[in-house]
Amino acid sequence: MPRLLPQPLLSVRDVQKASRWYQQVLGAKSGHGGDEYEQILADGVMVLQLHVLEEAHHHRSLADPRIPLGNGVAVWFAVDDLDAAQARAEKAKARVEKPIHENPNAGHRELWLRDADDYLVVLAGR
């Protein structure tokens, strides 16, 4: 396990819908479930958190609902099998921002998608 493990949190309009999408596209599982908060797990490790946009809970609201979601945010996931990830994305009817292509700077292939809240989701081959 790495010494430092990122656990990004995205504010979304519908946690359950976003959870289903991320589970299907990433081949992941729910680690929490619910209408207000979710954890997305890959191989038992939390790789993403989802929080409903307009619920403050024990903290103040995480996003301003007047500003479009997804603006300026990209979440990258390194995947073992990009072709299998593409098949899962197709099955989920994911919106493709940029089909599989070679990223010459990173030296790997990538697939760029948009989720229902307009976040840019990049699946990168290893």
| Displacement of CA 9 from its chain's centroid (Å) | 9
- Helices and strands in the chain: count of H runs, count of E runs: 2, 8
- The enclosing domain of 34 has a CATH number of 3.10.180.10
Share of the chain above pLDDT 90, in %: 77
pLDDT digits (tens, 9 = 90+) for 36-88: 999 999 999 999 999 998 765 655 667 777 888 888 899 999 999 999 999 99
Question: Within a domain: residue 31?
Answer: yes
Question: Within a domain: residue 2?
Answer: no
Question: Within a domain: residue 103?
Answer: yes
Question: Within a domain: residue 44?
Answer: yes
pTM of the model: 0.90
pLDDT bin (cut points 50, 70, 90) of residue 3 is confident
Structural domain containing residue 57: 9-125
Write down the pLDDT at residue 54.
75
Residue 123: is its pLDDT beyond 70?
A: yes
Domain count, the chain: 1
Question: Within a domain: residue 3?
Answer: no
Question: Within a domain: residue 4?
Answer: no
Question: Within a domain: residue 1?
Answer: no
Question: Within a domain: residue 76?
Answer: yes
Q: Which long-range contacts (CB under 8 A, 24 or more apart) does 93-96 make?
A: 94/21, 94/25, 94/121
| C-beta separation of 51 from 62 below 8 A | yes
